[in-house]
Amino acid sequence: MTANPFIQQAIDLNVGELSKEGALLVKTGASTGRSTKERFVVKHPEIEQDINWGSVNQPVTPEFGETFFSRLEEKLSHQKLYIKEAFVGCFRVRVRSTSPWHIAFAENMFRETVVEQLKTQVPDDVLIDILHDPYGQVSELRIEHPYQKAIVLDAKKLKVGIVGTAYAGEIKKSAFTLCNFLFPKYGIFPMHASANCKEDGSAASVLFGLSGTGKTTLSADPKRYLVGDDEIVWSKSGISNLEGGCYAKLINLSKDAEPDIYRAANKPGSILENVVFDRESKEVDFFDGSITENTRGSYSIESLDKVFDQNKEASRPNSVVFLTADAFGALPALARLDEWQARYHFISGYTAKVAGTEIGVTEPEATFSACFGAPFMPRSPKVYAELLANYIREYNVPVWLLNTGWTGGGYGEGERFPISVSRSLLESIQSGDLENVEMERHPIFGFSVPKMIDGIDQKYLTIPNNEAVLELARRFQANAQSLGDCLTDEIKDRGGPIIAH
């Protein structure tokens, strides 16, 4: 018997089994990551102007939403349901699912308590209601729809319906998407970011970054305390974690390289999705990506060693860092951004994918995701960028661009910045040691680049001067054009790269 009744019920139903070290091992079937083309938002007239409609937020009519939710509710009323009520940020959340292990996931990911300082800034009668039918099909609801799975969000009624996908991340990300819709109404800035601080909550630092940029690794600094590794909220009184757990990507997880995460992911109560393991010994092979490269582990944040008190707010950040893994050898290791450049690069959300990071990627690809998390930020990127600008201006917070990608040439030619160099640069940012260093202006991107930093080999601080710089600037400009009025002409003119014609 396990201590968690939902995990035990998953084992009894033969939908999960325990690893050698006691974590629950589950498979999610065909859906091993988030569904994108099957995700929809109900287009109520009252909120039509508040949603950034498009391929990320695909609209469905209020009539479709009403039918979808009522028939899903009716269907689930005839099945055994497992239920969890908790908090996401300071909002109540309820998950009702036909699957017990998904409720164990919700127990890991959502909060049991709220941060009191944050609670006073929003209404206390908000409930995000999630209906979860992972092993069902849309056709069972007797509605016309092009797909057999669907994730439907109703930002007016604060409902989520998830049908036909067992990938647990849909629960987490749907709840956070609705939170990220709500918070700007109250002048609160939700961030798809990690954050850490000193033990007493001071000297907080926020790290934005897409997958592969080092967001989780760099925030897990042995000298600092983790606030959260994925969903952070910044209010007038400070920053806090929206979630109660971590949902870590586990491919190539090493006990030696990341002992804290390894220990947390493997302990009883944790859930390992789509990992390969030995059928006899139940030993997990984290280096085997044959099921998916997107193997995942869900565990309580309290499973980690150095975690800031989750019932408190850390201080307002004294640094904001945009992480990028530039694969073209075009960006310097570090640059300081002014307010307009911060808006531009925040809305751009740039990194690069390299071979092996995703199926089908054979050459480096520039990737842009607005606000470093477009799928989870349902309002226009301008809204979130304005909140960022207001906060960094009001509290005089420096914003840095930290490149964890390639130097001395692009992928396959140069070398990747050593993690020790990235850590040292981040430590210099967080300590304030860079406030008085001499800077030079980047000739294309216009941001300020440190000329010399104590303890950093000068070869890592060289500003690249090659065709790749111009090509990357053109990619930025093309992406800016694709965003339409989400990126204003003023932000492009004052914060974007300049290419002489």
Is 173 considered catalytic here? yes
Query: N- to C-terminal Cα distance for the chain?
Result: 70
Per-residue H/E/C for 441-466: ECCCCCCEEECCCCCCCHHHHCCCCC
Which of 102, 172, 173, 224 is the catalytic position? 173
Eight-class DSSP state of 374: G
Which of 2, 35, 67, 211 is the catalytic position? 211
Is 295 considered catalytic here? no
Which of 34, 149, 353, 442 is the catalytic position? 34
Strand segments (E) across 185-318: 189-197, 205-208, 225-228, 231-235, 238-241, 245-249, 271-273, 276-277, 284-285, 296-300
Is 267 considered catalytic here? no
Cβ contact 449:440 at 8 Å: yes
Which of 192, 224, 382, 442 is the catalytic position? 192
Is 296 considered catalytic here? yes
AA identity, residue 44:
H
Eight-class DSSP state of 124: S
Is 224 considered catalytic here? no
Which of 159, 215, 224, 475 is the catalytic position? 215
Query: For the purposes of burial, counting CB atoms within 10 Å of the CB of 365, is it exposed (0-12), middle (13-18) or buried (19 or more)?
Result: middle
Q: What Rg do the C-alpha atoms of the chain give, in angstroms? A: 22
SS3 assignment, position 328: coil
In terms of DSSP H, where are the helices of 34-120?
A: 62-76, 100-109, 116-119
Which of 19, 194, 216, 422 is the catalytic position? 216
Is 230 considered catalytic here? yes
Which of 174, 230, 442, 488 is the catalytic position? 230
CA distance 494 to 472: 18
- Residues carrying an active site annotation: 34, 173, 192, 211, 215-216, 230, 296
